[in-house]
Structure 1
């Protein structure tokens, strides 16, 4: 599967000759928007009615477990942000989605998304590819949790090119990796930072 990030793949595709007639219409439906740090895009009980393609910035999704919030997703440049269960079913969200930095996005409403899928087979195929990519990423995360120890998960995460280590607060990454901030901090002391390249 293509390793390009979803936004880059999408923009590259619509700039090809076969998309020439669709590009103008597509750009009318996709709205550029600067969203300030700390903005809640979807709250618990709301329907996620917009999907975001991130040009710059970071978006986090989390759910509540008692009084604690648990990070379910951290996404940045080139990625898609939405609460998938809410967006695709148009049901109330069980998660919160918020910006962690000033974030530049291209936003697409659910109605525009459905319209694009129905009107053009190439867009529909591209969206399927992007969803397949997300499923592969999810499967990789399941493998990460199933087979690796906490220490291995921490080292694996911070060594990845897309890691947001040192860009977002450590406690968000800790809950994302299924551990506590204290354990995450302890694990960092055992990681050979000389081998971590960003």
Structure 2
């Protein structure tokens, strides 16, 4: 899969509204690095310290229900992620953020993010647009859960362009879609491999 380079895309999309000094500051602030698979970036009871732009890789957030962990978010190439409530309000997290693949990211700390947002009106506008997109994505997920059956949710997800189906274990996707591993497996058989748009 070709890298989407989210930071570069963000800067190119914003070249007519960001002041040159802010663009230079963003490039200086965001440095790419690799996080190994299986690394916990935010644990339960910690404050989410950074906002991550994923260049290549997969992360998930999850919470605990009894002894079971339930995936609440799956993000991959080109996405932006943090534990939103913890990061923006600087409060203790009730979710975990971890990598599911070796993941190349750009990151910005909370203090650096606030400094950028508060010092330049254009950067503040960009932050608002990012949050708007996050809210739209969340609303779309709510609609999927409200109006589609489990079987329809599974088919919708595995054929969606942002799907990480076949890149991560099925049971993570199953809990993300509000079902069990057994039901997920059964539905995959019913859908049939010839209908997978993202098959390898």
**TM-score range relative to shorter protein:** over 0.9
Tell me which stretches of 4 or more aligned residues in structure 1 moved more than 4 Å.
4-9, 14-18
Q: How is 1:171-190 mapped onto 2 (pairs within 5 angstroms)?
A: 171-190=171-190
Do the aligned partners of residues 134 and 29 (structure 1) sit closer, same or farther apart at CA in structure 2, a change above 3 Å counting?
same
Gaps in structure 1 of 5+ consecutive residues:
none
**Partners of 1:24 and 1:14 in 2: CA distance:** 13
In structure 2, the partner of 1:155 is: 155
Give me the CA root mean square deviation. Answer: 1.8
Matched positions, count: 195
Q: How is 1:4-23 mapped onto 2 (pairs within 5 angstroms)?
A: 7=7, 9-13=9-13, 15=15, 18-23=18-23
Compute the displacement of 1:99 (Å).
Answer: 0.5
In structure 2, the partner of 1:143 is: 143
TM-score by length of 2: 0.91
In structure 1, the partner of 2:169 is: 169
**Partners of 1:83 and 1:18 in 2: CA distance:** 26
In structure 2, the partner of 1:54 is: 54
Q: CA contact under 8 A between 1:7 and 1:80: conserved in structure 2? A: no
TM-score by length of 1: 0.92
Do the aligned partners of residues 193 and 8 (structure 1) sit closer, same or farther apart at CA in structure 2, a change above 3 Å counting?
farther
Q: How is 1:1-198 mapped onto 2 (pairs within 5 angstroms)?
A: 7=7, 9-13=9-13, 15=15, 18-198=18-198
Three-state SS of the structure 2 residue aligned to 1:190 is helix
Q: CA contact under 8 A between 2:50 and 2:108: conserved in structure 1? A: yes
Gaps in structure 2 of 5+ consecutive residues:
none
Compute the displacement of 1:130 (Å).
Answer: 1.1
**Partners of 1:57 and 1:44 in 2: CA distance:** 22
**Partners of 1:149 and 1:73 in 2: CA distance:** 19
Do the aligned partners of residues 94 and 17 (structure 1) sit closer, same or farther apart at CA in structure 2, a change above 3 Å counting?
closer
**Partners of 2:7 and 2:151 in 1: CA distance:** 32
Deviation string 1:24-62 (CA, Å, 9 cap, x unpaired) is: 211222222211111100000000010100001011100
Compute the displacement of 1:196 (Å).
Answer: 2.9
**Partners of 2:43 and 2:131 in 1: CA distance:** 23
